[in-house]
Amino acid sequence: MTWRAALLVVLTLSTFGPFAVLVLQSMSAGWRWPELLPLAYSGEGWQRVTTGSLGRAAATSLWLAVCTACAAVIVALPIGRALAKLRGVSRHIAAALVFLPVAAPPIALGAGLQIGTLWLGVGGTGVGVWIAHCVPAIGYVALLFLGVFTTRDVADEEAARTHGASRWQTWRHVLIPSLRIPIVEALAIAFLISWAQVALTLVVGGGAVRALPIEVLSLVRAGQERDAAVGALLLILPAVLTLAALRTGARRTDALPA
């Protein structure tokens, strides 16, 4: 075996190994050490998605992620645009402020947000967790839009204005349609940030908000390996779908080779 083939094997195992184990575990009806494969298979773990706590947790995560994605894009789009218009030191300072929640450890951010959400009277609620998720999501997405607007030619907006479009009409008829792909990417990123959020959900939700990552964490700690594997696969699913969708979109727009 050449060193390149060896590297390929290592890469394949490290990439797909954990997922293969999760798939087998989720369908097993008993898998004990030192068996290499499960002794029996069952669909019971997946059936519990619709009947058990995993389904409820997935639904909670879904609405949190959808709302976070929408809010993040709505807020971050104008922020990114405003940042791109700044020049010199003020731009660096503003960009650093936006980057702070992204760079800060989630647990530290959560500690601060917990106090804030308690003041707002939404501590330990879904709304509080949603607000907490929005903070890093807005940071990420604003930085994405900063990049987009920095390189974007505003000639089409100017053309729209001088042809009679108001600011709002320019946004609606020109800017947003022309930013369709970055907006979809931003929605996907913000969705995934919220979907995979553990620390902020745990700290701000105080255990009362049972999002999917929290539920999977509980199942792992409780030793319910099959249900934990099902939950983990559910967590992975949006990331895989997003990756596939973005790659398809990028190929369609010639951003990637076929």
Residues that bind other proteins (CB under 8 A): 155-156, 158-166, 169, 173-174, 177-178, 180
CB of 91 to other proteins, least distance (A): 16
Least CB distance to other proteins at residue 166 (A): 6
- Quote the CA–CA distance of 232 and 93 in Å, as a whole number: 39
Cβ contact 200:109 at 8 Å: yes
> 156 or 225: whose CB is closer to other proteins?
156
Nearer to other proteins, 179 or 193 (CB): 179
Backbone angles phi, psi at 28, to 5 degrees: -85, 155
Smallest distance from the beta carbon of 176 to other proteins, in angstroms?
A: 10
Nearest distance in Å: CB 98, other proteins: 25
Nearer to other proteins among residue 82 and residue 217 (C-beta): 82
CB of 87 to other proteins, least distance (A): 10
Residue placing its CB nearer to other proteins in the complex, 58 or 160: 160
- Residue among 48 and 161 whose Cβ is closer to other proteins: 161
CB 72 within 8 A of CB 141: yes
| Nearest approach, Cβ of residue 257 and other proteins (Å) | 20
Nearer to other proteins, 13 or 255 (CB): 255
